[in-house]
């Protein structure tokens, strides 16, 4: 197996062809490996077979080259899992209705692999999860095959690291943490990623690798909560928190800037801290600091809507019946990923208060259905002077680079800016409010 990895004859299988899996496929294809991608979503598989990418930072031209050269094949047939020499699991790990970890997709994938597992295969879990998942959840399922880990098959954990919208950090350009169940599993997983990733950082166990991922995202969630709480306080004091952060950033040591917003978005930062608090409770501990950060961040959409209500009142308008356009529904700037976007929470709260909603997002032409959210069949409305003029308020939820904020402000009655996107707009400043 080690020889086949080093001479790149090993077939790499990626299970889950979403925002993590598809860029990972690209990394191994560009490194010279043949790859096979598995996904239970037939629409995704059909799209990939036709050379159509559904992820903005994986271009369709490149995808077609992969398939035409035989470097990549997509399938929904999980009976073919045995064909791959290495299987990298990149399936979703959401929260359930009680905000507890939902490992349904991980378990089902492990069961499918166990049904076809053969000697020599390397299995690596990449899905974000709590420490001990690889050893206590995935390993026992794989061993129902009758094969032994470390002798017949090999198992490791390597957390996904993606920064969508940042061209400086592709999947192959971000250092990879790898922790194996045993020494041989670690050696094989490390050797595999070394062929396609700029740097591999081995750690002593899968638990360390799992905990590393949780720490990375909890660190961000806690610091974002800090600046969000500062924002609420400074707003009351008439101080611009954005200017404060900018000023503090001039200190060359001891400070890293984090920025406030209307809430947390993406698959990782709003979810991962809950994985940590859950496993802490299982170990008889309450992570009060982390839970407090989660409470602060989860309150931000409500704070934004309260500010919107106040600003509309300045013009003698109630929220009920007012036309509100949400500008940007992706969870972050310049991406097409709406997972856990605070825009959905804003829509829910505004709809409860009777607002007439619309949205625009150049990266999300149709509003997708979202877990645990009311389904809204909406399409992105083009931004023209007439449409903007009809809106009682334009709420900037995501600060995409594609927006001409001078144009938006010039033609709008009121703009509520949650991202400091209008910082450099010079005209009609009286129409802009920050939240």
Burial of 74 (0-12, 13-18, 19+ CB in 10 A): buried
pLDDT of residue 90: 97
Indicate if 165 and 250 belong to the same structural domain. Answer: no
Per-residue pLDDT averaged across 108-137, rounded?
Answer: 97
pLDDT in tens, 49-83: 999 999 888 889 999 999 999 999 999 999 999 99
Indicate if 177 and 46 belong to the same structural domain. Answer: yes
Catalytic pick from 90, 149, 212, 268? 268
Cα separation of 182 and 202, whole Å?
12
DSSP label at residue 332: S
Indicate if 273 and 344 belong to the same structural domain. Answer: yes
Q: Among residues 143, 175, 204, which one ends one of the domains?
A: 204
Q: Give the pLDDT band (50/70/90) at residue 133.
A: very high
Residue 210 lies in a domain: no
Per-residue pLDDT averaged across 181-208, rounded?
Answer: 97
pLDDT in tens, 272-286: 788 888 888 889 998
Per-residue pLDDT averaged across 256-276, rounded?
Answer: 84
User: Counting every residue, how long is the chain?
Assistant: 435
Please give the residue range of the domain that contains residue 86. 2-204
Indicate if 341 and 375 belong to the same structural domain. Answer: yes
Please say if 268 is a catalytic residue: yes
pLDDT of residue 267: 66
pLDDT of residue 370: 67
Residue 213 lies in a domain: no
CB count within 10 Å of CB 110 equals 26
SS3 259: coil
Indicate if 238 and 150 belong to the same structural domain. Answer: no
SS3 408: helix
Among residues of the chain, what percentage have pLDDT more than 90? 83
Tokens representing 69 are 């050269």
**β-strand pairing of 122-125 with 154-157:** parallel
Q: How many domains does the chain have?
A: 2
Indicate if 310 and 175 belong to the same structural domain. Answer: no
pLDDT above 60 for 107: yes
pLDDT of residue 169: 75
Indicate if 97 and 149 belong to the same structural domain. Answer: yes
pLDDT in tens, 345-363: 999 999 999 999 999 999 9
pLDDT of residue 99: 78
Q: What is the mean pLDDT of the chain?
A: 93
pLDDT of residue 185: 98
Indicate if 54 and 197 belong to the same structural domain. Answer: yes
Residue 235 lies in a domain: yes
CATH number, position 90: 3.40.50.720
Main-chain dihedrals φ then ψ at residue 336, nearest 5 degrees: -105, 20
pLDDT of residue 176: 96
Indicate if 145 and 248 belong to the same structural domain. Answer: no
Cα separation of 88 and 435, whole Å?
41
Tokens representing 184 are 């041989």
pLDDT above 90 for 172: no
Cα separation of 333 and 215, whole Å?
23
Residue 224 lies in a domain: yes
Could you identify the residue written with the tokens 């991608």? 37
pLDDT above 80 for 397: yes
Residue 215 lies in a domain: no
pLDDT of residue 100: 83
Per-residue pLDDT averaged across 383-404, rounded?
Answer: 97
Burial of 35 (0-12, 13-18, 19+ CB in 10 A): buried
Indicate if 179 and 307 belong to the same structural domain. Answer: no
Residue 214 lies in a domain: no
**β-strand pairing of 323-327 with 393-396:** parallel
Q: Among residues 171, 204, 237, which one ends one of the domains?
A: 204
DSSP label at residue 367: P
pLDDT above 90 for 152: yes
pLDDT above 60 for 171: yes
- By C-alpha distance, which of 215, 134, 200, 209 is closest to 179? 209
Indicate if 147 and 232 belong to the same structural domain. Answer: no
Per-residue pLDDT averaged across 305-332, rounded?
Answer: 96
Indicate if 298 and 333 belong to the same structural domain. Answer: yes
Q: How does DSSP assign 62-77, residue by residue?
A: HHHHHHHHTSEEEE--
Q: Is the pTM of this model over 0.85?
A: yes
Q: Among residues 204, 231, 256, which one ends one of the domains?
A: 204
pLDDT in tens, 2-61: 999 999 999 999 999 998 999 999 999 999 999 999 999 999 999 999 999 998 888 899
Beta bridge partners of 38: 15, 75
pLDDT of residue 371: 60
């Amino acid at each position: 197996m080690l020889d086949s990895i080093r001479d790149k004859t090993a077939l790499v299988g990626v299970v889950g062809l979403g925002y993590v899996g598809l860029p990972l496929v690209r990394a191994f294809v560009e490194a010279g490996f043949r790859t096979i991608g598995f996904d239970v979503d037939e629409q995704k598989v059909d799209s990939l077979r036709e050379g159509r990418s559904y992820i903005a930072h994986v271009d369709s031209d490149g995808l077609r080259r992969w398939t035409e050269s035989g470097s990549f094949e997509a399938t929904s047939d999980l009976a073919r899992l045995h064909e791959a020499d290495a299987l990298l699991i990149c399936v979703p790990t959401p929260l359930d209705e009680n905000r507890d970890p939902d490992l349904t997709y991980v378990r089902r994938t492990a069961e499918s692999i166990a049904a076809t597992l053969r000697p020599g295969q390397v299995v690596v879990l990449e899905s974000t999860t709590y420490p001990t998942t690889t050893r206590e959840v995935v390993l026992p399922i794989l061993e129902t095959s009758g094969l032994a880990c470390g002798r017949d098959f090999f198992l490791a954990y390597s957390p996904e690291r993606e920064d969508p919208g940042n061209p400086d950090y592709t999947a192959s350009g971000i250092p990879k943490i790898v922790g194996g169940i045993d020494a041989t599993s670690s050696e094989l997983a490390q050797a595999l990623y070394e062929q396609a990733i700029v740097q591999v950082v081995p750690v002593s166990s899968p638990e360390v690798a799992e905990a590393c991922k949780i720490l990375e995202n909890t660190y961000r969630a806690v610091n974002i909560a800090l600046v969000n709480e500062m924002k609420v306080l400074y707003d009351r004091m008439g101080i611009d928190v954005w200017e404060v952060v900018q000023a503090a950033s001039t200190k060359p040591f001891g400070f890293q800037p984090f920025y406030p917003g209307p809430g947390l978005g993406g698959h990782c930062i709003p979810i991962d801290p809950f994985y940590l608090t859950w496993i802490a409770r299982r170990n008889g501990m309450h992570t009060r600091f982390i839970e407090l950060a989660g409470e602060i961040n989860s309150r931000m959409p409500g704070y934004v809507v309260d500010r919107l209500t106040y600003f509309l009142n300045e013009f003698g308008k109630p929220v009920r019946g007012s036309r509100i356009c949400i500008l940007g529904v992706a969870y972050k700037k310049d991406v097409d990923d709406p997972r856990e976007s605070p825009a959905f929470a804003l829509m829910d709260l505004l709809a409860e208060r009777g607002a007439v909603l619309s949205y625009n997002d150049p990266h999300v032409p149709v509003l997708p259905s979202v877990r645990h959210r009311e389904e809204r069949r909406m399409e992105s409305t083009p931004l023209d002077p007439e449409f903007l003029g009809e809106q009682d308020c334009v709420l900037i939820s995501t600060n995409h680079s594609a927006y001409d904020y001078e144009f938006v402000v010039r033609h709008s009655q009121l703009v509520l800016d949650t991202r400091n996107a209008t910082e450099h707009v010079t005209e009609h400043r009286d129409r802009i409010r920050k939240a």
